[in-house]
Structure 1
Amino acid sequence: METPTSLDVPTVRGGRRQRRRRATVVTAALLLVVACLFVLTMMLGSYYVSPIDVITSVLGLRDDPTTDFIVRDLRLPTAASGVAVGLALGLSGVIFQKLLGNPLASPDFVGVSSGASLFAVSSIVLFDASSSAVSGSALLGALLTALLIYVLAWRDGITGYRFVLIGIGVSNFMVAIIGYIVSRAELYEARQAMTWLAGTIGQSGAGELRTLLVAVVVVIPLALVLERPLRTLELGDDTATALGSRVERNRLVLIALSIVLIGFSTAVAGPILFVALIAGPIAQRLTGSAGGILTAGLVGAVIVLGADLVAQQALPTPLPTGVVTGIIGAPYLIWLLATVNREGRGG
């Protein structure tokens, strides 16, 4: 067996430093792009506001009632929703994919978002619920659906393939019930439910947005702390156990964090599809093996903010944000399914 030469260690360390430098540069660049899109979202509309006026209004550096009303009251909630929802979707998606070792293991693909949608639509159609009640119902639906999938997928542990298959089955079941409920609803309620199901940022109240922002601020540091155990779990249960990792506890905590993020984001913006599915792979392409989960969250924020700008400003008729993300994500899903099937990575 060959032993490493004296040149191998510096080479390996140099390559590691280069990968870390690349990941740091990409993450910083994504943070800058998110900041620019955040400001741009508050600039554009029926009344144009200059970037300087946007920044001074948000920071409270100048008193201009007209500008402050447009920026702070009308546009800031939408921009803040875009950042928070994008971060939440990106983080939850990459945690699911790394945890289950499957590129199809996205919360909106394995039934979690469908469960949130079912509970939210039921509260709209059956109980004529308020906006806050709809958001609470969506969060409860996400949590209960994730618990159901976890219980059904458990068999001396969890495998990504089994979790995804059961999640797809649960998702189709939820979607069928949603279709039945909407078909039996009055026209106004059905229209309200379909608008919510399309998914768009800026449709929730201030209370729901504040709750999501608090959840993101709390969960992101926890997720970063648990990133090393997550990397250990990627090696497989046996290897992780041998390395001293508490496999099931760490898996449950990480899944819980992901479900909280997807639940709150769906409660605020509805089911904005495909963002959680594509954010992680894009971040991986940009940063390589050294990329972290925060990078995926920033990619998610860029996608949501960019999609909303396209939906609201670049099209003849404004559309929900989820329509644009669906147009982007559907071809990627088809390509991913074809690639997984061709390479035999489904299991």
Structure 2
Amino acid sequence: MYALLSTIAAAMVASTAAFAQPADAGVFKRTTISPIMDGQNFPDPSLIRVDDGWHAFATNAKISGKTIHVQMAYSADFKTWTYRSGVDGMPTLPSWVDASSPRVWAPDVSQLPNGDFVMYYTAALKSNTALHCVSYATSKKVDGPYTDPTTTPWVCPTAQGGAIDPSGYVNADGTRWIVYKIDGNAIGHGGVCGNTVKPIVSTPIMLQQVSATDGHTKIGSPIQMITNGVADGPVTEAPSLSKLGSKYILFFSSNCFATTKYDVSYATATNIKGPYTKYGPLFITGTDGMTAPGGLDIAVNGNHAIWHAYVRNTTHPLTECISKHGREKGGGHKPAAADECDRNHGGGRAAFTAILSLSGNLVTASTLS
């Protein structure tokens, strides 16, 4: 049985440069949604379904004093989740990654035609530690260990700020694609998320076709899907591509993760290459008790979604905590001391799940109850 989430998505068509947002978006609240795994810190989560059930992956964390590059969780039914504490999906990193502070973010796993698995992920660049790059790693098993064969980053436009937040998609015609963000705010001119002081740097979401067989050989040049407009603030990031009904849906987050303006929004198109029209947002601060929801990932060719959010903490509000503890160098987009901020049950950002559906251009979300 499903319970309908409070939906903030705008029903009207918006322009490709901006989308309509309710005037009371910052205070909207009707119900409360509970995080999975009792609020275990599990940021930038992603999903894949295989024969034995659902597997989820998340950004690095320190567990019992040990750095885990890729966190993992499992569910047989998408309702009850088990956190695999201390288990690292990718214990060994390639030589181009900054070993002193690798910052492995936003892992996303897809299955290849031969049954193997490919993980797309973000890591800090050793030759310029303020920047991040996108790469891939492979494994015979869904839960790894994953190994990256590269000696240089796979996607790394350093002149534009590097790249983060990769996510894979397999089209109905068998073609395989990757979406990612060019991390322009990493070279921004200051302000919120390093990119509210003019001139504002573009943070486009890119679409790259890759080999359907190996998942990493690039085909052609990347295509820009959307970029940050006035309503998006300093960034568009955390893309995930799927198809609901007859339309391609590009989910993304906008505004700054370190403020309560962070959200989950989306854009739609009838062709995978676009043009994409922005709608939404789907989730904002106040939706079902969440604070700064973001990083939504939707299972390839499915409608099951996972995302993260901070849980309200009136003693140490999100913006106050970020201000106190600072941020990583280079204008990066993760807090330097997430656990110290105590923003949810377990510290960091909790994961949430739902089933998505599309009617016209309106996305709605329902939780398992």
- TM (normalized to structure 1)? 0.26
More strand by share: 2
Structure 1 or 2: larger helix share?
1
Q: Per chain length, whose mean CA-contact separation is higher, i.e. which structure has more relative contact order (CA < 8 Å, sep 6+)? A: 1
